[in-house]
Amino acid sequence: MTSIALVDDDRNILTSVSIALEAEGFEVKTYSDGAAALTALSASPPDLAVFDIKMPRMDGMELLRRLRLKSDLPVLFLTSKDEEIDEVLGLRMGADDYIRKPFSQRLLIERIRAVLRRREAQALDPAERAEKDKIIQRGKLSLDPMRHSCAWSGDQVTLTVTEFLILQALALRPGFVKSRDQLMDAAYDDQVYVDDRTIDSHIKRIRKKFRVADKDFASIETLYGVGYRYREV
């Protein structure tokens, strides 16, 4: 049974969303503050986490930041209509998706399923994998989709599911430009809409992670008004 962690200080949301998710066959654990959630998620990670930004003791941003220090757990966060800046920051910090309050439970469930499908696609039997899912070696870059593993000059780089799929789409054809729409298609389910800024935020996050391993990393190039391309070094 797929396990979901739901973190929100609004008891009504915890109750209503839990009922909806359990009706869809998910196992749900709820937490009303970020500090309690961090302890529990670190000890026993679920398959996916959903949490609010504004919470007592530890807000969603801090919870996400701490989780990303040690885990690539898929994360979808909840944000209010007036928290546009937080949406961008959350994506830069490694969130896989977000949904704005108020939201329909059906939309939330579809977003959760979309993120889980992207994660499950990384764990298929080798015989079932397409050519694009074999180990990709591009100079200093090594991508292993089967293990969801990424390395630069031998140093491991931890990527979220969405970040991995975006980088994989670029690295499959180095030198070729990928538009934002093409990267959306590679990383997101057809039923999920994201805007250009979402892809830009993920690209910034990917670059930041690689620059920890190599301060001179510049293999993802921006072609303004067109998209991005991977330059093999």
Sequential DSSP letters for 106-148: HHHHHHHHHHHHHHHGGG--GGG--GGGS-EEETTEEEETTTT
| Pairing assessment for the beta strands 141-144 and 149-152 based on DSSP bridges | antiparallel
pLDDT for residue 196: 61
pLDDT for residue 194: 59
- In angstroms, how far is CA 165 from the centroid of its own chain? 10
Maximum CA pair distance of the chain?
A: 52
Residue 233 and residue 183 in contact, taking contact as beta carbons nearer than 8 Å? no
Q: In terms of C-beta distances under 8 Å and separation of at least 24 residues, what long-range contacts does 145-153 make, across chains too? A: 146/122, 148/72, 148/122, 148/123, 152/210, 152/213, 152/214, 152/217, 153/213, 153/214
CB contact set of 216 (below 8 Å; sequence gap of 6+): none
Token pair of 232, please?
A: 């093999």
pLDDT for residue 148: 80
Q: Cα–Cα distance between 43 and 50 in angstroms, integer?
A: 17
CB contact set of 188 (below 8 Å; sequence gap of 6+): 114, 118, 162, 194
Q: What is the DSSP letter of 196?
A: H
SS3 percent helix, strand, coil of the chain, rounded to 5, is 45, 20, 35
The series of mean pLDDT values per 10 residues for the chain, 233 residues long, is 91 92 92 90 92 84 86 84 59 77 86 82 54 78 87 90 90 90 77 66 92 94 92 84
pTM, entire model: 0.56
pLDDT for residue 191: 47
- Among residues 181, 143, 162, 228, the alpha carbon closest in space to that of 219 is found at 228
Q: What phi and psi values does residue 188 have, to the nearest 5 degrees?
A: -125, 150
